[in-house]
Amino acid sequence: MTTLQEARHNGREAGFTLMEALMAIVILVFGLIAVTNLMIVGATSNLTASQVSASASLCSQQMDTLKAIPFDTLTGPCGATCGGLTTDVAGYFSTQVLDGVGRFKVRWQITPVAGQAQLYFIQARCQVAGGLMASRTVTDLTSFRACTDASLNCPVAP
């Protein structure tokens, strides 16, 4: 072969064929789809973690508020149980909106301990209001509240 024929022959073999280029594009697209899916999962996990942290913080704040209320005004005239954890009871729930995180329902319940006039069982629940993440963001806190100082007009023990 002459030098010109060799150059033409080698020129046909240089570069990519259409099939090679298409296969490279297909492989690149599948790689980008996988990376996109990872980013979506990461963003969803980040939002869930933010909501769980906010739920725990709001529930803790509510428990602190309930602990600060004077013992003799803690329950009022409500009988055996004040409030509810699963439904909104007037005076025993609040809705709070945290920008960038979501809307939260905070509910609490105060139950006098049977046979112990100076002891209450306190429960608080906080979760995202509505949506698919509501069940994943539930925070429940419980505590006992006792009145032992006679100068505070504690109820008389039975």
**pLDDT for 38-79, tens place per residue?**
999 998 889 889 999 999 999 999 999 998 888 877 776 676
The whole-number average pLDDT for the span 17-28 is 91
Dist. CA 83–CA 78, nearest whole Å: 9
Structural domain includes residue 136? yes
Res 39: pLDDT: 93
Element (H, E) at 144: strand 139-146
Confidence band, pLDDT 50/70/90 cuts, at residue 93: very high
Task: List the structure tokens of 125.
Answer: 């629940």
| Domain tally, the chain | 1
Write down the pLDDT at residue 115. 80
Q: What share of the chain is helix, strand, coil (3-state, %, to 5)?
A: 45, 25, 30
Q: Is residue 91 over pLDDT 80?
A: yes
- The answer to whether position 27 is within a domain reads yes
Is 108 exposed, middle or buried, given 0-12, 13-18 or 19+ CB atoms closer than 10 A? buried
pLDDT reading at 82 higher than 90: no
- Share of residues in the chain with pLDDT > 70 (%): 83
pLDDT at residue 107 in the model = 94
Buried b (16+ CB within 10 A) or exposed e, 52-77: bebbeebbeebbeebeeeebeebbee
Query: Is residue 158 over pLDDT 70?
Result: no
> By residue range, what is the domain housing residue 73?
3-152
pLDDT at 16 over 80: no
Whether residue 51 contacts residue 103, with contact meaning beta carbons closer than 8 Å, is answered with no
Average confidence score pLDDT of the chain: 84
